[in-house]
Amino acid sequence: MSFDQWLTQRIEKTKQAGLYRRLRTMSTAPQPQMVVNGTKQIVFSSNNYLGLANDPILIEKALETLNEFGLGSSGSRLTTGNTEWHEKLEQRIANFKKMEAALLFSSGYLANMGVLSSLPVKGDVLLSDQLNHASIIDGCRLSKAETVIYQHADMNSLAQKLRETQKYNRRFIVTDGVFSMDGTIAPLDKIMKLAKRYDAYVIVDDAHATGVLGEGGRGTSELFGVSPDVVIGTLSKAVGIEGGFVSGSSVLIDFLLNHARTFIFQTAVPPASCAAAYAAIDMIEKGKDKRENLLRKIKIIKNTLEAMGFKVYGQDTPIIPVIIGDAETSVQFSKKLQENGIYAPAIRPPTVPNGESRIRLTVTAAHNDTQIEHLLTSFKGIGRELKMIT
Ligand code: PMP
């Protein structure tokens, strides 16, 4: 069998399992209305929660820095890739997150992998929420420590696992701040209490909460008034740009700079992205009205869909999963939405449990009331047509 024949066979299996993926082409900048595969769609599936990815002030800032510093950083941070913009942004992130220091990575994915593969050592254990993001799962796999999974956001389950893991040298609880498929918020206040009681460290991935939750958009730590040991984040969602970060104590950052392989061996993010992210964080800090506006939209969508009879998961976050049930109906629902000019993907097993296939909606501060109205009317029509609601 040739190399390509072998791969074709494997792809065939992926197709048979209903897991074959295809790319869609966006022909416009990130905004609520986009051209997706050649047709105009209102996009309800982007992570551009505050609409900053297309902000003219941030674009201007990036252009200015592009002209001064060029396109790529051309080296890792520890060789020739470190500019004053990287350092300024790290200080800005630390100050924003109310932590001593921060370290930039090329993505949130790599930040999670870097922390989890370097911090816990052999003889330690990672206690990981069942619904944690793939980058946490991969980080746990890379770690020399063992991993124990606890039930999603279930404090009894976490307490039990903490009791059962007393023989390990150190214990690290690792959780998403906001869970990407369920839109739930980790009960960080309770997690911190358990960590204190059982002498464990806490690592939070605040990818979806940064810029969105808390008075100043600082994320779940601010929402619950707690200070975990390690707070990871991304610049690719509400911040609207690209890159990841870790914030925490100065010694943590010094440690990661020396030990996190995804930091050491990766080319630094472009300076222009750093300058734009710096300005975006300024906007986020001052953007309480944008967050309130976003929260209002989240509530309208959730409440209206629930009143129509749909089962909606999650809490008050921009991730709004509408449970459809079986995988086929979810795909059908998503296709019908697309025919109505709405782009929102169906999420099926194994990403979510059997019988819990869903339309995963995300809403941003940039969506206008007419677009939201159209979404809700479409849900009502399709829900009735598919006999899901009356
Ligand atoms: N953590 C979570 C919870 C995420 O949803 C994502 C992105 N989907 C990441 C980390 C990775 O972030 P990035 O896109 O910056 O690599």
| Same domain, residue pair 221 and 251 | yes
Examine the domain organization and report whether 34 and 61 are in the same domain: no
Q: Are strands 171-176 and 125-129 parallel, antiparallel or unpaired?
A: parallel
| 311 CB neighbour count, 10 Å cutoff | 14
* pLDDT score, position 306: 98
Q: Which of 133, 175, 203, 262 to mutate to test the pocket of ligand 1 (most atoms within 8 A of CB)?
A: 133
- The predicted pLDDT at position 350 comes to 87
pLDDT score at 19: 83
In a shared domain, residues 277 and 307: no
Please indicate, yes or no, whether residues 234 and 341 belong to a single structural domain of this protein: no
Within this chain, do residues 162 and 296 fall inside the same structural domain, yes or no?
A: no
- What domain count does the chain have? 2
1 in any annotated domain: no
Asked if the structure places residue 46 within a domain, the reply is yes
Q: Which residues pair with 101 in a beta bridge?
A: 248
Whether 279 and 297 map to the same domain: the answer is no
Query: What residue owns the CA closest to ligand 1's atom 15?
Result: 108
- Is the domain of 261 the same as that of 377? no
pLDDT number for residue 17:
84
Same domain, 149 and 245: yes
**Catalytic: 237?**
yes
Residue 8 lies in a domain: no
Check residue 50 and give its pLDDT: 97
Looking at 260, 285, 310, the residue that finishes a domain is 285
End-to-end CA distance of the chain: 54
In a domain, 9, yes or no: no
Is this prediction's pTM over 0.80?
A: yes
Examine the domain organization and report whether 267 and 320 are in the same domain.
no
Q: Convert the pLDDT of each residue in 253-290 to its tens digit.
A: 999 999 999 999 999 999 999 999 999 999 999 999 99
pLDDT of residue 135: 98
Per the domain annotation, does 13 fall within a domain? Answer: no
Q: Are residues 26 and 62 in the same domain?
A: no
* Contacts with 205 (C-beta within 8 Å, 6 or more apart), sequence order: 108, 112, 132, 133, 135, 136, 174, 175, 176, 177, 232, 233
Residue 4, pLDDT score: 98
What is the pLDDT at residue 119? 98
In a domain? residue 6: no
CATH number for the domain harbouring residue 31: 3.90.1150.10
- If asked whether residues 268 and 315 sit together in one domain, one would say no
Classify residue 11: in a domain, yes or no: no
Within 6 A (CB) of ligand 1 lie 107-109, 112, 133, 135, 176, 180, 205, 207-208, 234, 236, 244
Would you state the pLDDT for residue 381? 98
pLDDT recorded at residue 207 = 98
261, 285, 309 - which closes a domain: 285
Q: What is the CATH number of the domain that holds 209?
A: 3.40.640.10
Domain final residue, candidates 285, 307, 341 = 285
Place of tokens 């690792």: 174
Question: Could you tell me if residue 14 is inside a domain?
Answer: no
Ligand 1 center from residue 207 Cα (angstroms) = 6
Are 275 and 376 part of one and the same domain?
A: no
- What's the pLDDT at 45? 97
pLDDT of residue 18: 80
What is the mean pLDDT, run by run of 10 residues, along the chain of 390 residues?
98 90 93 95 97 97 98 97 98 98 98 98 98 98 98 98 98 98 97 98 98 97 98 98 98 98 98 98 95 97 98 97 95 97 94 94 98 98 96
Domain containing 303 equals 19-50+288-385
